[in-house]
Structure 1
Amino acid sequence: MSQHPLKAVTLTHVRYQKGDQLGHFLAWVSLVPVFISLGGFSSHFIFRRELQTMFFALGLLISQFVNEVIKTSVQQARPETCALLEMCDSHGWPSSHSQYMFFFAVYFTLLTYRRLGLICRNQLIVAYLLVWPMAVLTMYSRVYLGYHTVAQVFAGAGLGAVLGWGWFWIVNNVISGMFPLIEESAFGRFFYVKDTSHIPNVLRFEYENARSARKHPSYKRAD
């Protein structure tokens, strides 16, 4: 990377070379994990409160904890560009961004296939075309912007994929058996936590129940 002035995306401190439009785009791409965490999972808890997705988010937190433990233990330096990025005081192996996105991509893929299967093949294809290119772009952005080496992002991607698959298996073969207990617990009832994994088509189920509630004599329109 040439010694050009660097500019940070406002409020994020992800740096790219001033005037580099691709770098500017990739700087925003590298923030996708932030958008997923703050926008996706936070809004999901507020409006949906599905146990499956809540454990999905918990898995991502565990994955990031594992990443920090490994980084602290291995203490592999970032590439030489870390001086320009003011990141040399942190470690680079494995890449946390790549690990996050590949954990997300693998878990999301397995969960989507489990919920939709072969019934909604077109929806599956659209979902995959959104999540996997974004995971690869995030990985590429960390190398392009100088935050990681190629080996560091591939290590993060590999670890994220393995942890994503492993956590999906644990949640759906071990923890899911406790979902009814969590639903009926004081916590579950207070926060309206629910599990709809036993419903084949949640969208249709909610649509039909919403219509039924509107037609019911006791239905009252909110003021």
Structure 2
Amino acid sequence: MEDPPLASLSLTHVSYNPSDPFSHLSAYLALVPQALVISYAALIWSTREIEILLMFTGQMGCEAFNWLLKRYIKEERPTQMLGKGYGMPSSHAQFVAFFSTYLTLFLLFRHNPHHHTIHPHRHTKTPLYQRALLALASIGSAAAVAQSRIYLNYHHPRQVYVGLGAGVFCAVGWFTVTSIAHYSGWVEALIDSPPARWLRFRDLVVNEDLVDAGWERWEMIKAKRQQAREQESKKAK
């Protein structure tokens, strides 16, 4: 009995023109969705923030929607030599469109960090213009990833545009659902459930700048250490 032919795990396989620097850059941009999934997993595990888990849940739902659309529309790619499966809509474009749109909505309409802890005079809350700049950066990055799919000839332009539209649609819809869940108390009830409590999930990122809050706690620890050293020094004298 002959051995079956070997298959290729093509999650990170990208074909590009090595003599074209833009093609080379586009090949790296094609890996952005995989990098974002790894980032999602790392952030969920390290922060246990329910908001990040909700965003990732919507992201996976958007991917499932893309899978259904491709098998319903059944439109081929520009060339069958590049990529596997159907091309309409572009899953890369839909993925990054969801990510950038949901992140923008979160930063501008839900994230409202304020200081209510130890040293409120030492720090200021993240200003709106910084959140807006981060949102613009995510949108620009999404546009670059989408354009790379056209440049590498993995998709027709219309396949990318439909993917972008589907991603925005999913992001707005899921943000609306999670907003209702927040206001109705469903998210709080979810966090208080035994599995969520066992996994230590929390909901701080909506009203707390995690970087700033972590820095503030570090400053407090340093102040306590310095105070302890001074007390030990006085006792020694």
- Measured against the shorter chain, the TM-score band is 0.7 to 0.9
Counterpart residue number, 2:106:
111
**The residue matched to 2:16 in structure 1 has which SS?**
strand
Preserved contact between residue 111 and residue 205 of structure 2 (Cα < 8 Å): yes
For residues 106 and 143 of structure 1, the distance between their equivalents in structure 2, rounded to whole angstroms, comes to 21
**The residue matched to 2:162 in structure 1 has which SS?**
helix
**1:203-222 mapped onto 2 (5 Å cutoff):** 203-212=211-220, 215=224
- Percent sequence identity over aligned pairs: 27
- Asked which structure has the greater RCO (Cα within 8 Å, sep 6+), the reply is 2
Counterpart residue number, 1:51:
50
Matching residue's letter, 1:48: T
2:186 to 167, 178, 190: 178
Q: Measure how far apart 1:28 and its partner are.
A: 0.4
Preserved contact between residue 16 and residue 152 of structure 2 (Cα < 8 Å): yes
Query: Deviations for 1:2-42, whole angstroms, at most 9, x for unmatched residues?
Result: xxxxxxxx98211101322110101101111110111x101
Counterpart residue number, 1:220:
none
Q: Measure how far apart 1:119 and its partner are.
A: 6.0
For residues 189 and 142 of structure 1, the distance between their equivalents in structure 2, rounded to whole angstroms, comes to 42
2:197 to 182, 189, 196: 189
Q: Measure how far apart 1:52 and its partner are.
A: 0.8
User: What is the aligned-residue RMSD (CA, Å)?
Assistant: 2.4
Q: Measure how far apart 1:200 and its partner are.
A: 5.0
The alignment of Structure 1 onto Structure 2 pairs a total of residues equal to: 202
Residue ranges of structure 2 left out of the alignment (5+ in a row): 1-9, 114-124, 226-237
Counterpart residue number, 1:33:
33
**1:30-179 mapped onto 2 (5 Å cutoff):** 30-38=30-38, 40-79=39-78, 81-83=79-81, 85=82, 87=83, 90-113=85-108, 114-116=110-112, 120-174=127-181, 177-179=185-187
TM-score w.r.t. the length of structure 1 is 0.81
Preserved contact between residue 92 and residue 146 of structure 2 (Cα < 8 Å): yes
The change in CA–CA distance for 1:26 and 1:154 in structure 2 (over 3 A counts) is: same
Choose 191-200 or 163-172, whichever is displaced more: 191-200
**The residue matched to 1:17 in structure 2 has which SS?**
coil
Q: Measure how far apart 1:129 and its partner are.
A: 3.4
Matching residue's letter, 1:51: I
TM-score w.r.t. the length of structure 2 is 0.77
Question: Runs of 4 or more off by more than 6 Å in structure 1?
Answer: none
Query: Deviations for 1:130-185, whole angstroms, at most 9, x for unmatched residues?
Result: 21111101111001101100000000000100110110010111256222222222
Q: Measure how far apart 1:203 and its partner are.
A: 4.2
For residues 19 and 103 of structure 1, the distance between their equivalents in structure 2, rounded to whole angstroms, comes to 32
**The residue matched to 1:143 in structure 2 has which SS?**
helix
